Structure 1
Amino acid sequence: MSKTLTLKDIDLAGKRVLVRVDFNVPLDKETGEVSDDTRIVAALPTINEIIERGGKAILVSHLGRPKGKRDPKYSLEKVAERLQSLIGKPVTFVPDCIGEEVEKAVSKMNNGDILLLENVRFYSEEEKNDPDFSRRLSSIADIHVNDAFGTAHRSHASNVGVARYLTSVPGFLMQKEIEMLGMAIENPEHPYVVILGGAKVSDKIGVITNLLEKADRILIGGAMMFTFLKAQGKSVGDSLVEEDKIDLAREILQKAREKNVEFVLPVDTVIAKEIAAGSESKVVDLEEGVPAGWKGLDIGPSTIELFNKKLSDAKTVVWNGPMGVFEIDDFAKGTESIARTLASLNDAVTIIGGGDSAAAINKFGLAEKVSHVSTGGGASLEMLEGKEMPGIKSLSIEGGKKKRRLMVAGNWKMNKSPNEARMFAGFLASSIGNENAVDVVVFPTSLSVAGVADILKDTSIKFGVQNIYPADSGAFTGEISASMLSDLAVEYVLVGHSERRHIFGETCELTGEKIKSVLKHGLTPIFCVGETLEEREAGRMKEVLETQIRKGFSGLGKSDLERIIIAYEPVWAIGTGVVASPEQADEAMKFIRDLIASLYGVDLSESVRILYGGSIKPENFESLISMENIDGGLVGGASLQESFVQLVAIAESHA
């Protein structure tokens, strides 16, 4: 069985090692000095391992959100100074992360040297995972070490893009995060107790949904408890409530009952009229409710006692989110009590899921008394949700190159009302929301995108739109532009679908303009190509495909093509019940690969994903996806039914 390579498996002597660290540390606003070096300290074991074994450590990190522009207040120069004092060895700082100055500095390195590059987010290409930028970053190194778990849930150039060009292995910090959180997800010792807090239910939907399948008990605190309490009909006064999530809270409570998971809500709360130190406060029983004009800001003493009892026999505990407004001492007792209880559970594996929970455990000086404190807030949350982690997926596998990642995409076409779309998205979220081995994407109608986005935002299922017009704005009645999609977190756009070509008369030239617009706005086009029955019977299949691809790709470079997914959809097999045989589909898709190789090079043709589309059903998908050139399916009618889940499972078995 293949396994992920580790730092110990790599010969480091004399090698230039590009290390993605997470030095996103707070700086003092007045002096610019590092005010909390926890993340720098966490990276020291990996850095020391590299230099002690004769490697040349080239460190790269982001700091803050400079929005793709050079900003002195986000410079890593002060971080280099703190690292040097911590590691006790010279650290050379380079005021850029690509270019001639960097190349010269690397060329002068001796074995055991340390070099820190400037903030990688001074380039907008970093967060876009731009292939050319990734290639330039990787060109200065022989090996890539990813030790930045805090960015593992992001597909950026410095953690994922460079892995296309270099062997990528986890650093010690990343490896521990994967092992600890992976154990809690895949193989926890029972009783398994999860503690969730924080402000919003919406932030934790994915975690709750995933852990309802695994945990024995889920304890709820923080402001999110009031949405659940209101869903039970209790009075919550002026406490923070997500009104639009009350029905969802009821569904979660019902699902917990069906799964026989103990879902424990607070029985009392500390309330105040203002969120401020010294504000008048008191404890109220939640059966009596929170009076109007007051808001709950912490769990109460009876809840602390209840939660401690529920934790007493735990063998695995995961905690994510504070119990109250712990930054203010008046409302920190609940959070501190949970922290102290976890620190006392000597027979349990206790994992703190990053973010505010990590800040709390550090505030109370208890970090050394729990099993693991994650360095990644958003990353740990998404891993607990069961989401795909690009920064982990990109790590090199022992025994050869990674295969192209499979995708199952559902085109809902002009079906399902907004309410029906939300309900079906909820079904998919509960059924396949934790799948990570394949990419799952759905394309609802434009009218339903916002509702579906709300349901799927906390799952691993992605979503897209079925069509765009290539202009950013203007007098184009009934159309939408790619620029309008950023607020909805849309990632994919169908382009060139046969129905757009044959019903609405869209030309290959218009399809090409749409592809450019989609790429311009950082989205991924699924570019559909295919021949009609008449064209196939006339022996023109290859001619038609070549024309569509050449015109669709007109003006695009290699870096653009790496961001495109192709869907081969023989028009004669769409919605007809007729399916191209696996051999027919594979022949067409091999032709597409050969054409790409002639246009852009063999390596690129091997990396581009090509989906098959045309009357896919569970009965025929197995034979199709087994073919060498087929990387998944663009599904029509079956994507509107529960059988879509079966298609994902079939793809999983081939991943």
Structure 2
Amino acid sequence: MKERFMLNKKTVDDLQFKGKRVLVRCDFNVPLKDGVITDESRIAAAIPTIKKIMDDGGKVILCSHLGKPKGPDQAFTLAPVAKRLGKILGKEVIFAADDEVVGNNAKKAVSEMKDGDAILLENTRFRKEESKNEETFSKDLASIADCYVNDAFGSAHRAHCSTEGVTKFVNESAAGYLMQKEIDYLGNAVENPVRPFAAVLGGAKVSDKIEVINNLLDKVDILIIGGGMAYTFLKAKGYEIGNSLLEEDKIDYAKEMMEKAAAKGVNFLIPTDSVVVREFKNDTEFKTVSADKIEIGWMGVDIGKQTQELFRNALKNAKTVVWNGPMGVFEFENFAKGTIAIADVLAHIDGTTIIGGGDSAAAVNQLGFADKMSHISTGGGASLEFLEGKELPGELVVLRRKIIAGNWKMNKTPNEAAKFAKELAVKLNNSGAECVFCVPFVDLIPVLEAVKGTTVKVGAQNMHFEANGAYTGEISAGMLAETGVSHVIIGHSERREYFAETDEAVNKKAIQALSNSLIPIICVGEKLYQREQGITFDLVRMQTRIALKDISAKTAENVVIAYEPIWAIGTGKTATAEQAEEVCKAIRAVLSEIYDETTAGKIRIQYGGSVSPANAKELFSMPDIDGGLVGGASLKMDFEQIVCY
């Protein structure tokens, strides 16, 4: 199954490139020594996207930053990268030497391009507007392109002209293969992990990973702390840490995080022994002591064998592991043993292992374990901010995660539901999409049990808008949340028709769902006579506005809108992909009016009218359709074909 995220625009597989000028943002921030590239892994990572566009007949215009120049500076020229790219591709890559980046040389080179050609622009940071995301440079970049592809995850945490600003001035944007792979792996790990889910965090300072720890404690089953940052946690437990690295102003934070872990039932592990030294160098005197007995004059530089075994035992049965930061001073051979031990256990576990860039990626590469890991991120800062739960401007421009929800309606007894869910969930596990089974109330508990250990989630088909009271036969949002349900369908066309559910009731339900951390799938749509009267757009705009009344922009990011053309449900009729996209685009527009373009770009919109294996790919490749609300087809095993088209 191919792991995949839905796109705000499209992937490189969806765009037509022949004859088009394609601006591709890569991460060519490679190490240079005397003008020679010493590590070309970032160049190699960009090759699949570049070749795809070239092979399709696109005119590839590559751009990237290199280092931190404060303007034009030949010490930071990308000329060596163009030369190396040409050798790898087996075809000359013209270097457009131009201090203005998009100056006369660049414009001339672009004008002379033939289909399948490639050129590389000069370092984008030669323009001071780049890091300020100023409109002038964004427009300059867009002026030489027909469409834009972002393949630079390593720069996705920067809202610069070449990563975010340019998208406002081109007609089409897409994610490259590398960007897609990064978000797929990190996104699945953080939001949809196969459990047990473990995170291993190391490095020097707690302050560097404050938000990472806080965010991951809400998601992981196991959290391991090593490296220099561990000594602040040891101090918070009242231990003597000698001259080890300490952030005194983070001691209270460390206590708070350990208390949070205990409250959430997270297995929170810190070193039980430590390798200590008198001097910070490789060939100094060292010994291993208990983590609570580091003497004054000694400094912790690695985890000891006891801790290595503790961490190994905690990780050996994990199914998803994210690792960011070494366990000790791995640059020194004598104190790399803890980092080697972690790399070794991750290389041998039966699960997904993700190395979060930066020092941990460097350590894995240097230690020879790279080919044993599922994924090594190319973005140190970007992967760290992703793990913090922060929004990455360069990624948000193009990516929204696909969500497919099966609405089982009034079908399947508890035993039937559990058997079917268990078999289907295995097929859908790690599909890359957010997959939800929305089942009858009596099936919730057995289906939740059946999908345990997979990435499939469970949702309800309805709920009441009050928290409690004399509402015979009704279920509250709080009740659903306590069962472990994550989603709930609200305002389905059948409930509107047969139970006279109003837009105002839908709004009340949405507010209740969100206040209980449930994701509401809010249904909007028109009947056949309403479509024939030409009021489709007015109707869905009104339904959307009322449904989101009094819901803030930040909270609305958790909402899913499902467009249901009621005339196409169970009738054998299906809206064309173009018709569905037209309405979903209108919904996106009204979301922009209610909130803003950024918020509208984050809210997912499903299509819910007779989705089948035959039409899923065409529907879900539309720019504003982020998945489907599937009825009858979700009750069959070939639902897998819809989720994993």
Q: TM-score of the superposition, structure 1-length normalised? A: 0.61
Structure 2 residue 104 is the aligned partner of structure 1 residue 140? no
8 Å contact kept, 1:318–1:353? yes
Residues 398 and 162 of structure 1: is their aligned pair in 2 closer, same or farther, counting only changes over 3 Å?
Answer: farther
Residues 198 and 55 of structure 1: is their aligned pair in 2 closer, same or farther, counting only changes over 3 Å?
Answer: same
Residue in 1 that maps onto 2:117: 113
The answer to which structure, 1 or 2, has the higher relative contact order (CA under 8 A, 6+ apart) is 2
Q: Residues of 2 paired with 1:182 and 1:265: CA distance?
A: 26
Q: CA deviation at 1:18?
A: 0.5
Structure 2 residue 356 is the aligned partner of structure 1 residue 353? yes
Residues 628 and 331 of structure 1: is their aligned pair in 2 closer, same or farther, counting only changes over 3 Å?
Answer: closer
Alpha-carbon deviations, 1:380-425, whole Å to 9, x = none? 01111110110111117899xxxxxxxxxxxxxxxxxxxxxxxxxx
Q: Matched residue of 2:49: which SS? A: helix
Alpha-carbon deviations, 1:85-127, whole Å to 9, x = none? 2222111111122122111100111111110111000111000
Q: Residues of 1 paired with 2:286 and 2:323: CA distance?
A: 26
Q: Matched residue of 2:52: which SS? A: helix
Residue in 2 that maps onto 1:314: 318
- Cα RMSD of the aligned pairs, angstroms, is 2.5
Residues 65 and 209 of structure 1: is their aligned pair in 2 closer, same or farther, counting only changes over 3 Å?
Answer: same
8 Å contact kept, 2:62–2:121? yes
Residues 11 and 619 of structure 1: is their aligned pair in 2 closer, same or farther, counting only changes over 3 Å?
Answer: closer
Residue in 1 that maps onto 2:278: 273
Q: CA deviation at 1:310?
A: 0.5
Residue in 2 that maps onto 1:150: 154
Q: Residues of 2 paired with 1:621 and 1:20: CA distance?
A: 36
Task: State how 1:172-187 maps to structure 2 within 5 Å.
Answer: 172-187=177-192
Residue in 2 that maps onto 1:54: 57
Q: Matched residue of 1:375: which SS? A: coil
Q: CA deviation at 1:620?
A: 4.9
8 Å contact kept, 2:7–2:398? no
Structure 2 residue 246 is the aligned partner of structure 1 residue 241? yes
Residue in 1 that maps onto 2:235: 230
Q: CA deviation at 1:73?
A: 0.8
Residue in 1 that maps onto 2:530: none
Name structure 1 gaps, 5 residues minimum.
Answer: 400-617, 633-647
8 Å contact kept, 2:66–2:123? yes
- Pick aligned residue for 1:103 from 107, 113, 135: 107
AA aligned opposite 2:61? I
Q: Residues of 2 paired with 1:88 and 1:653: CA distance?
A: 41
8 Å contact kept, 2:7–2:174? no
Residue in 2 that maps onto 1:325: 329
State the number of aligned residues: 415
Q: Matched residue of 1:387: which SS? A: coil
Alpha-carbon deviations, 1:349-392, whole Å to 9, x = none? 00000000110110011111110000000100111111011011
AA aligned opposite 1:367? A
Q: Residues of 2 paired with 1:229 and 1:277: CA distance?
A: 24
Residue in 1 that maps onto 2:44: 41
Q: CA deviation at 1:33?
A: 0.4
Runs of 4+ in 1 over 2 A off after TM superposition: 1-4, 396-399, 618-632, 651-655
Q: CA deviation at 1:653?
A: 9.8
Alpha-carbon deviations, 1:145-183, whole Å to 9, x = none? 100000111100001011111221111000000100000
Q: Matched residue of 1:282: which SS? A: strand
Residues 265 and 628 of structure 1: is their aligned pair in 2 closer, same or farther, counting only changes over 3 Å?
Answer: closer
AA aligned opposite 1:154? R
8 Å contact kept, 1:237–1:290? yes
Q: Residues of 2 paired with 1:182 and 1:81: CA distance?
A: 34
8 Å contact kept, 1:168–1:396? no
Q: Matched residue of 1:350: which SS? A: strand
Structure 2 residue 172 is the aligned partner of structure 1 residue 170? no
Task: State how 1:8-23 maps to structure 2 within 5 Å.
Answer: 8-23=13-28
Q: Residues of 2 paired with 1:43 and 1:2: CA distance?
A: 21
Residues 36 and 2 of structure 1: is their aligned pair in 2 closer, same or farther, counting only changes over 3 Å?
Answer: closer
Q: CA deviation at 1:3?
A: 3.9
Name structure 2 gaps, 5 residues minimum.
Answer: 403-547, 557-589, 606-623, 625-645
Residue in 2 that maps onto 1:631: 595
What's the % identity of the aligned pairs? 53
8 Å contact kept, 1:194–1:217? yes
Structure 2 residue 220 is the aligned partner of structure 1 residue 215? yes
Q: Residues of 2 paired with 1:348 and 1:389: CA distance?
A: 27
- Pick aligned residue for 2:383 from 368, 380, 383: 380
Q: TM-score of the superposition, structure 2-length normalised? A: 0.62
Task: State how 1:598-609 maps to structure 2 within 5 Å.
Answer: none
8 Å contact kept, 1:326–1:332? yes
8 Å contact kept, 2:60–2:116? yes
Structure 2 residue 268 is the aligned partner of structure 1 residue 263? yes
AA aligned opposite 1:631? Y
- Pick aligned residue for 2:88 from 82, 86, 93: 86
Q: Matched residue of 1:204: which SS? A: helix
Residue in 2 that maps onto 1:503: none
AA aligned opposite 1:168? S
Structure 2 residue 393 is the aligned partner of structure 1 residue 390? yes
